[in-house]
Amino acid sequence: MDRISSAAEFQTACDTLRMRGKTIGLVPTMGALHDGHRQLIKLAREQCDVVAVSIFVNPLQFDNPIDLEKYPRSIEDDLEVASTLGVDVVFAPLETEMHPRPILFHLEVDGLSEVLEGSSRPGHFGGVVTVVAKLFILAGRCRAYFGEKDFQQLAIVSRMVKEMHFPVQIVPVPIVRDERGLALSSRNLRLTSEQLNSALSLSRSLFAAREAIRRGEKNTDKIEQLMAQELGREIDGIAQADLAVLDYALVVDPLTLMRPDRIEGTVRLLVAARIGDVRLIDNVGA
Residue 28 lies near ligand PAF (rule: CB under 6 A): yes
**Which residues, 89 to 128, sit near ligand PAF by CB under 6 A?**
128
Stretch that binds ligand PAF, among 22-30, 175-183, 211-219, 276-284 (CB under 6 A): 22-30
- Taking the least distance from each CB to ligand PAF, the nearer of 173 and 226 is 173
Active site residue 124: no
Residue 150 lies near ligand PAF (rule: CB under 6 A): yes
**Which residues, 41 to 80, sit near ligand PAF by CB under 6 A?**
58, 61
- Taking the least distance from each CB to ligand PAF, the nearer of 90 and 132 is 132
- Taking the least distance from each CB to ligand PAF, the nearer of 100 and 266 is 100
In the complex, least distance from residue 147 CB atom to ligand PAF, rounded to whole angstroms: 7
Distance CA 285, CA 258 (A): 14
233 contacts: CB under 8 Å, gap ≥ 6 = 201
In the complex, least distance from residue 77 CB atom to ligand PAF, rounded to whole angstroms: 16
CA atoms within 13 A on the CB side of 139: 30
* Beta carbons of 188 and 232 less than 8 angstroms apart: no
Distance set, CA 96 to CA 7, 61, 150 (Å): 10, 16, 27
Residue 146 pairs in a beta bridge with: 172
Identify the CA nearest to 226 among candidates 260, 201, 200: 201
Residue 131 lies near ligand PAF (rule: CB under 6 A): yes
137 contacts: CB under 8 Å, gap ≥ 6 = 11
Q: Which candidate in 34, 37, 99, 124 is catalytic?
A: 37
| Single residue of 4, 24, 30, 52 touching ligand PAF by CB under 6 A | 30
| Single residue of 10, 24, 29, 238 touching ligand PAF by CB under 6 A | 29
CA atoms within 13 A on the CB side of 110: 1
Residue 82 lies near ligand PAF (rule: CB under 6 A): no
Cis amide bond preceding 102, omega within 30: yes
SS3 call for 169: strand
Which residues are near ligand PAF by CB under 6 A? 28-30, 58, 61, 128, 131-132, 150, 153
Question: So which residues are the catalytic ones?
Answer: 37
